[in-house]
Chains A and B, each alone.
Chain A
Amino acid sequence: MNYLARILVVLFVSGISCQGIFWLLDSHLQQYNVHKKERLDEIILGHSSFDILLLGSSKTHTGINPYYIDSITGHSSYNLGIEGGRVNEFKIIWDVYLQHHPKPKMLVLSANLFELDLRRGFFNHTQYFPYLENSIISQGLDAYGHRTDVYKTLPFLRMSDYDDYTRNNALKGMMHQTEIQAGDFQYKGFLSNGENTIREPLALPPKEDARISVGSVDLLKGIIERCQKDSIQVILVYLPEYDHRLQNNTPNAAEVLAVLKEVSDKYKIKFFRHDQLELCKRPDLFANAGHLNREGSVVYSKYLATVIKSELSK
C-alpha cells in the first residue's frame, strides 16, 4: 500500500476510534457526575433566586448544609463549594452565578490556607466541559491553558485534557456508580460526606507551605469588591478543621491567615475563625483533618446559621 495512504488510514482510524472512546467516556462521566451536573446546571444555566450563597472549597461543599441555614435564618440559601477550589475558581463561579441569578443578600466566603496557592489550575476542570458555550467558563478555562475553542470543534480532543481522576470517574460510571455514595445525599448544592470519623494516627499530606501566588489576593478582593458594589453583604469564614492539624502541617499558616485578616480589615467585613470552635476538638465530627463528616456538618451548619442570622439583622 502506498505510504501516504497508510498515513491517511491511521489518521482516519484513530480519529473515528477516539471519537467513539470519547462518547463512551463522556456519557459515563456524566452519569457518574449526577451531583456536579445538577449543581452546575443551577449555577451556570439556572435563574432561581437565593438570598445566601456559600462559596468555597470542598470544606464548604460538604460542610455546610443549606437545609439548616434555610430553616434557622428563614432565608433561602445555596451551596457553591467547589472540590479543590481556589480563589481563581471562586471568582469564576461567582461571576457566572451572578450572570443569570437575582442578586442575593449575603455571600459567605470561605477563607482557607491553600485558596491563595494558584500553582495549579482547576482541580476538576473537566466538570465544566459540558458548559463551554458559556463565555465566562470558556475564558476561565482558556486562561489556564485549556483550549476550549479546539474542544468545541473536535470534541474528542477534550480527552487530551482528562486526568486519571476523570478517567477513573468515567470508569466508575460504566460500573453504574455515581459520585453520591450509598447512604449519602445532596441538597441545594450540598453533598454529605459519609460517616467516617477521625482515627489516630491521622494521615496528612507532606508538610508544605501554602504559597500566596501573585494576583491571588487581588482575585479575592475582586470578589468582595463586586459584592460591595452590588450591596451584597460579605462575611469571611475559616471553616472548622480538626485540632488545628492542617495549620500545624503548613509551616507558613500564620502568614496566610494574616493576609486574609488584612483583606477583611481593608473591606471592613467580619472574619470568623471557626477553627477555634469547641467542636473542632471532637474527632467524632470529622471525616479527616480538613473535612467535617455528616454528623459534623449538621452540628456546624446549625451553628453557622445562627451567625448568619445575627449578621443579616445588623
Chain B
Amino acid sequence: MLFNSIEFLIFFPVVTLLYYLLPHKFRWFHLLAASCFFYMFFVPVYILILFFTIIIDYYAGIWIENSEGAVRKRYLMASIIANIGILCVFKYYNFFLDNMVFLFQSLNIPIASEHIPYLSILLPIGLSFHTFQAMSYTIEVYRGNQKAERHFGIYALYVMFYPQLVAGPIERPQNVLHQFHEEHTFKSSNLLAGLRLMLWGFFKKLVIADRIAVYVDAIYDHPDQFGWHNILLAIILFAVQIYCDFSGYSDIALGSAKTMGFDLMKNFDRPFISTNISDFWRRWHISLSSWFNDYLHTPICIAWRDYGQYAIIFGLLVTFFISGLWHGAAWTFIGYGVVHGVALTFEVLTKKTRKKVIKKFNKALYDRLSMLLTFTFLCLSWVIFRADSMSDIGTIYHQLFSFNTTAFQSLVMNSNMVEFGATSFAIAAVMILFMWVVESKVSYSLYELNDRPVADIILSSALLICILSLGVFNHNSFIYFQF
C-alpha cells in the first residue's frame, strides 16, 4: 500500500483507532497483522521472504547472545550471509547475469541468450530497507549494545512495523525495540504532532514532488531532444523533486508512527544548506548513511587503522560503491555512489588546506559559496542517479555543456499548452518558496509541538488546503499531449 493512495486514507485511521482501543497485550498482534496487510497489498507471496529472514535473525540474535568467542561471530556471519543472500537473489541476480553476458560477448565467447537463467520476478518492495534494518539488529546484539529479543511477535514487528517497512527510516534496535514493549496511553499531543508531520510530508510529496515530476520525467525520457536550458531546469528541479518525494515519505512515516506514540529517527535535516559533501551525508537519508558508517565504513577504518588516511579513503570508496549498489541494480546507481566516494576522498585530502583557507576568507561568504558549490555537485551527481542508462548520462552532460539550443523540442504544442505549463511552474515555484520559508525560517520545529496554537492552526490549515486544492492526485497531468 502506498501512503498516497485512497486505501491508506482508510487504513491509517482504522489502525490508529484500533491500536488505542485494544488493551496493551494485544497491540503487538494488531500492529503486526496491520503491517502484514499493508505489505501484502503489493505482492502477497513476498511476505514469505520476510518471514524467512525474521525467523533466521530472531534465532541468530538469541544464539549470539548465548554463546561466547568465535561461535558468536559464526552465528553473526550466518545471519548476515542469509540476509545479503536474499538481497542478492531478488535484487542483483539479473544484474549480475547481464554483466556476465556483456563480459562474454566482449571476449567474443558465443552464448545463446535463450539459455540464460534470468529470474522473471518483480523486486520485492522495501527489500533493501527491511533487510538492512534486520542486519542492524544482529550486529547490535553481537556488539553487546542490544539484548536479544525473546518475544517473536515483537521481533517480527521490529522488522515489519508498517510506517517504516517499505521506505525507511532504517531503524536501530536500541531506538525502537523497547518502544514496542512499552504501553503508550493515548495522548492528544502525539496525535496532533503526528498528523501535522504527515500533512507536511503529503504537502511535499503531492503538491511539489509529483507536480515537478511531470516536467522532469518528460525531459529525462528524451534527453536528446531538448536544449540545454530545458535540461538545466530539469536537473535543478530533480534535486527538489527527490528531496520532497523522499523526505515527504519519511515525514509521513514518522508522523503515522507518532500518532501511536512511537518515535522514529529523523531521516533528513535540511540537506540543501550543506556546505560540503560530508555535511550533506549527515543531513540526507541519515538512517542509511549512519548505517553504512557504523557497520561498514568504521569497521574498515578500525581494522586497517595503521594505514592512516589510506584506510579512510579505501573505506569511503568501498562504502560508497556499495551504497550506490544499494540504491538499485544498475551501473548508473553505482556511478552515483562512486562519484560521491571520490568527492568525499577529495574532502578528506584537502581538509587541512580548506581549514587554512577559511581563516583568510569572510566566513559568511565562504559558507554561501560552499553551499552553492555543494548544491551544484549534488545536482550533477543526481543526473547519474536519475538517467535511464549510462548513454543518457553522456547525452545530458553533452547537451548541458554544449549550450546547444538547436535540438530544442517544443514541450508544448500550442499556445493553450504554453499557458498551462506556465501555471504549473508558477504553482510549483510558489510552493517551493513556501516550503523553503517554513523549513528554514519558522522559529519552531515541525517535529515538535509548541505552545503557539494560532500559528500552528494557520500553518496546518494552509497545508491541508494546499494539498486538497493543489495536490497532484491523478497521474493524468501531461505537460504535452499527443494528438
Contact = CB atoms under 8 A, between A and B. Distances in A.
* Direct A–B contact present (CB less than 8 angstroms): yes
Interface of A: 1-4, 6-7, 9-11, 13-14, 17-18, 21-22, 25, 57-59, 84, 112-114, 117, 120-123, 125, 145-147, 156-157, 159-165, 167-168, 171-172, 203-208, 210, 246, 287-291
A122 B483 contact: no
Nearest to A156: B468
B483 A290 contact: yes
B477 A164 contact: yes
Contacts of A156: 468
A162 B457 CA distance: 26
A206 B475 CA distance: 19
Contacts of A145: 474
B392 to A, nearest CB: 13
Contacts of A120: 475-476, 478
B457 A13 contact: yes
A123 B476 contact: yes
B476 A3 contact: no
A4 B188 contact: yes
Nearest to A165: B420
Contacts of B475: 120
A58 B416 CA distance: 14
Interface string B402-428: 000000011001100001101110010
A203 B227 CA distance: 13
Given A14-B468, A18-B468, A168 B476 contact: no
Best-buried of A18, A114, A147, A291 by chain B (most CB within 10 Å):
A18
Contacts of B473: 160-161
B457 A9 contact: yes
A146 B475 CA distance: 11
Contact of B453 (A1, A13, A21): A1
Contacts of A11: 464
A206 B469 contact: no
Interface stretch (B28-36, B90-98, B189-197, B279-287): B189-197
A59 B483 contact: yes
B419 A168 contact: yes
Contacts of B470: 167
A288 B483 CA distance: 11
Looking at chain B's contact residues, the main secondary structure is helix
A207 B470 CA distance: 31
Given A145-B474, A163-B472, A206-B221, A6 B409 contact: no
Contacts of A18: 464-465, 468-469
A203 B465 contact: no
A310 B221 CA distance: 46
Interface string B425-447: 00100000000000000000000
Contacts of A9: 457, 461
A3 B469 CA distance: 25
Please tell me the size bucket of the interface on B: 35 or more
A58 B460 CA distance: 42
5 contacts: A7-B188, A14-B468, A18-B469, A117-B482, A165-B477
A311 B424 CA distance: 47
Contact of B461 (A10, A25, A114, A146): A10
Contacts of A25: 469
A160 B468 contact: yes
Contacts of A163: 472, 474, 476-477
A159 B461 contact: no
Nearest to B479: A164
B483 A6 contact: no
A204 B192 contact: no
A233 B477 CA distance: 36
A114 B468 contact: no
A10 B476 CA distance: 30
A79 to B, nearest CB: 17
Interface in B150-196: 188-189, 191-192, 195
A121 B480 contact: no
A236 B461 CA distance: 53
B481 interface: yes
Given A58-B483, A112-B483, 12 more contacts: A2-B188, A6-B453, A6-B456, A59-B483, A114-B483, A120-B478, A125-B474, A159-B469, A164-B420, A167-B470, A206-B409, A290-B483
A208 B464 contact: no
Nearest to A120: B476
B211 interface: yes
B457 A6 contact: yes
Contacts of B337: none
Nearest to A25: B469
A157 B468 contact: yes
B255 interface: no
Contacts of A121: 474, 476
Contacts of A157: 468
B222 A206 contact: yes
B482 to A, nearest CB: 5
B290 to A, nearest CB: 32
A208 B6 CA distance: 32
Contacts of B189: 3
Best-buried of B449, B474, B482 by chain A (most CB within 10 Å):
B482
B461 A13 contact: yes
Nearest to A150: B6
Contacts of B469: 18, 21-22, 25, 159, 162
B232 to A, nearest CB: 18
Contact of B423 (A59, A171, A287): A171
Contact of B409 (A7, A59, A204): A204
Nearest to B412: A203
Contact of B482 (A165, A167, A168, A205): A205
A120 to B, nearest CB: 5
B225 interface: yes
A246 B189 CA distance: 59
A203 B195 CA distance: 47
B423 A167 contact: yes
B471 interface: yes
Contacts of A172: 419
Contacts of B410: 203-204
B205 to A, nearest CB: 14
Nearest to B192: A3
A246 B483 contact: yes
Q: Which are the 3 A-B pairs with shortest beta-carbon distances?
A: A203-B410, A290-B483, A3-B188
